[in-house]
A and B are shown apart, each in its own frame.
Chain A
Amino acid sequence: MGGPERLEQSEDRWTTGMGAFFPAEGRVVFRGKDLHRDCKDMAWMELLLYGITGRRFDANQTRLFEGIWTLCTSYPDPRLWNNRVAALAGTVRSTASLAVCGANAVSEATIYGHRPIIGAIDFLLAAKTARDLGGNLAEFVKDRLRRNRTLPGYGRPVRRTDERIGPVLALLGELGFPRGPHVALAFEIEDILLAHRFRLPMNIAALLAAIAADQGLSRREYHHFMILGFSAGMFPCYIEAVNQPGLGFFPLRCDRIAYEGTPARPWHTPAAGEPGQSP
């Protein structure tokens, strides 16, 4: 069924499995559970994961996911593009919420942030499927690289070794998680790349995607889990800028604009009867 009939079916009717507030009873349902009875002992991270997936994660998993947020949050360097939005909001005396929301929106970026995060799990899941179907992993990797010229999760322009990999692996070990099949695959892919002299060492996106996949997150669930994780690094950037003199965050002189456009010209207003365009 399509067209207006479908809209008529939904008019004043939204069926949800996600939750509702019953003001008269003072009761809140959160994905099928009573929030104040069944969820009261959940860590916030556990509740977040439950809200995203509808599945319960045990305390160890919750600590793992929270540790990932800690170790891989946006570094509080206000020059980074998403954090810079937060700092700019502070320097012009905007609100904290606008600062962090604007910065989080910008984190849905292509060359860093959310797109590489999704790209890495897509790539790993595809590689796993290809090998599970009997394919050759090295050929799969080389083919992907030949076609796309980049591999999400591998290579990093700013630093050869990703400084987050060691601490995240340590966390995984400290919590007693074995290196699951996706993590093992991520390292196998790195070995293939290095053996074939592609200078593409694994970056954190591949490792996190592999851990998430090993914990049973789908690509969308993983994306949703990662969205708010950068926030911890954004608040400091806003707070510092809002407490410093206004407009003091990297002010730019006029001569910092390197103009490369059309040279100066007048706006010609045609007289009556004259053709419309300026010369």
Chain B
Amino acid sequence: MKPAKEVIHTRIWEETPEAGNPFAAAVCRCGGYDVYGDLLGKASWAEYLYLLFKRERPAPAEARLLEDLAVALANPGPRDPGVHAAMCGGVGGSTHAASLMAALAVGAGQLGGAHETALAMDLWRDCGTDLKAWTGRLRQPPAPPGPADIWPGIDHFPGFDPNGADCPLPVRQTLAHLAGLSPGPALPWLHRQRPDLEAAARSPLTLIGVAAAALADLGFDRDQAEMLCLLLRLPGAAVHALEQRGYGWRKFPFFGDGLVLADDPGPRRPETD
């Protein structure tokens, strides 16, 4: 007997084929909703994004929170290492995908990047809105990398800036705004406790720290939060890469005098050339 065909198991997506082509879908349902026959035109981008991740449509307050978080994260600006990496692709005329791959590779990091969001989500999972638990964790040294960990060790607390002085205005503005519309407890609590948490961490809160609180309030887990952070910061990387392609490499910082070579073996003798 011929074995049954292998199938893709999913709770997210269902397709009904076209009558004349089993390889083309006539109806696509996401979480039960007809995407092209019903949802399209009714759902916002944020509602659909939430539906994709959670398989349920968000409450209006959740959709608004995700929408505004997406605006806050969309462009970290050209000084951000992930955007800088994308611009390196732009100035050299690399493929657009390479620019976004570079943005993802760098924007994935644990210092201002997406993996830091996952680590910060661990703090929310473990400490909730218990100030004593948070300050206890923040006063301990960060955990070393676990066995078989591919990530480099970190020496700062996720969601806080080890190079920071005071909490920057955009972080405070974003926190105040999102805390005002969050349906969950994390953002309002973070807004109230920020000074105490920053004192315990001896460093200011970052936008990643705010994003982790927002994603905790939206009920996302650490992996979903990391994915969303990667995705939601790509627009800025894309537009800055495209813009630098137009400006060209001559107008892009090269740090020409910035490199100090510590182990120069010295010039070669002419006869060895």
A interface residue numbers (CB < 8 A to B): 3-4, 7-8, 12, 77-79, 81-82, 84-85, 88-99, 101-103, 105-113, 115, 166, 242, 246-247, 249-252, 254, 256-257
A99 with B105, Cβ < 8 A, contacts A4-B24, A94-B113, A112-B92 known: yes
Query: How would residues 94 to 133 of chain B score, 1 for a CB under 8 Å from any chain A CB and 0 otherwise?
Result: 1101110110111111111101000000000000000000
B273 contacts A by Cβ under 8 Å: yes
A-B contact pairs, 24 of them (CB 8 A): A79-B254, A79-B256, A85-B88, A85-B102, A88-B85, A88-B106, A89-B105, A92-B82, A92-B110, A92-B111, A92-B112, A93-B154, A94-B110, A98-B105, A105-B97, A105-B102, A106-B94, A107-B94, A110-B93, A111-B92, A246-B162, A252-B84, A256-B253, A257-B77
Give the CA-CA distance A92 to B240 in the complex, in Å. Answer: 19
Contact indicator B88/A106 (Cβ below 8 Å): yes
A81 with B89, Cβ < 8 A, contacts A98-B105, A103-B102, A250-B258 known: yes
B259 contacts A by Cβ under 8 Å: yes
Residues from chain B with a CB closer than 8 A to the CB of A7 are: 23
Chain B interface category by residue count: 35 or more
Give the CA-CA distance A241 to B94 in the complex, in Å. Answer: 23
Contact indicator A102/B154 (Cβ below 8 Å): no
Which residue on chain A has the smallest CB distance to residue B154? A93
Going nearest first, the 4 A-B pairs with the smallest beta carbon separation are A110-B93, A102-B105, A92-B109, A109-B92
Partner of B110, one of A81, A84, A93, A99: A93
Residues from chain B with a CB closer than 8 A to the CB of A78 are: 259
Give the CA-CA distance A111 to B250 in the complex, in Å. Answer: 12
A102 with B101, Cβ < 8 A, contacts A93-B154, A242-B152, A250-B255 known: yes
Choose among A8, A106, A251 the residue with the greatest number of B CB atoms under 10 Å from its CB: A106
Give the CA-CA distance A98 to B230 in the complex, in Å. Answer: 13
Residues from chain A with a CB closer than 8 A to the CB of B109 are: 89, 91-94
B15 contacts A by Cβ under 8 Å: no
Residues from chain A with a CB closer than 8 A to the CB of B98 are: 102, 105-106, 108-109
A85 with B92, Cβ < 8 A, contacts A79-B254, A105-B97 known: no
Partner of B105, one of A77, A81, A94, A256: A94
Give the CA-CA distance A62 to B101 in the complex, in Å. Answer: 31
Contact indicator B113/A92 (Cβ below 8 Å): yes
Contact indicator B79/A101 (Cβ below 8 Å): no
**Which chain B residues (133-168) contact chain A, with CB distance < 8 Å?**
150-152, 154-156, 162-163
Give the CA-CA distance A148 to B257 in the complex, in Å. Answer: 34
Contact indicator A105/B101 (Cβ below 8 Å): yes
A94 with B115, Cβ < 8 A, contacts A4-B23, A79-B258, A85-B102 known: yes
Which residue on chain A has the smallest CB distance to residue B78? A257
Contact indicator A97/B150 (Cβ below 8 Å): yes
A257 with B79, Cβ < 8 A, contacts A98-B108, A250-B258 known: yes
Contact indicator B94/A94 (Cβ below 8 Å): no
Contact indicator A106/B108 (Cβ below 8 Å): no
Residues from chain B with a CB closer than 8 A to the CB of A4 are: 20-24
B91 contacts A by Cβ under 8 Å: yes
Q: In the complex, what's the smallest C-beta–C-beta distance from B167 to chain A, in angstroms?
A: 16
Give the CA-CA distance A85 to B113 in the complex, in Å. Answer: 14
Give the CA-CA distance A249 to B273 in the complex, in Å. Answer: 33
A95 with B108, Cβ < 8 A, contacts A105-B98, A247-B81 known: yes
Give the CA-CA distance A251 to B84 in the complex, in Å. Answer: 11
Give the CA-CA distance A254 to B111 in the complex, in Å. Answer: 19
B249 contacts A by Cβ under 8 Å: yes
Residues from chain A with a CB closer than 8 A to the CB of B256 are: 79
Q: In the complex, what's the smallest C-beta–C-beta distance from A102 to chain B, in angstroms?
A: 3
Contact indicator A115/B111 (Cβ below 8 Å): no
Contact indicator A102/B106 (Cβ below 8 Å): yes
Contact indicator A106/B81 (Cβ below 8 Å): no
A98 with B104, Cβ < 8 A, contacts A4-B22, A92-B110, A112-B92 known: yes
Given contacts A12-B6, A82-B88, A256-B253, 14 further A-B contacts (CB under 8 A): A89-B105, A92-B82, A92-B112, A93-B111, A93-B154, A95-B151, A97-B150, A98-B104, A98-B108, A99-B106, A105-B102, A247-B112, A251-B163, A257-B78
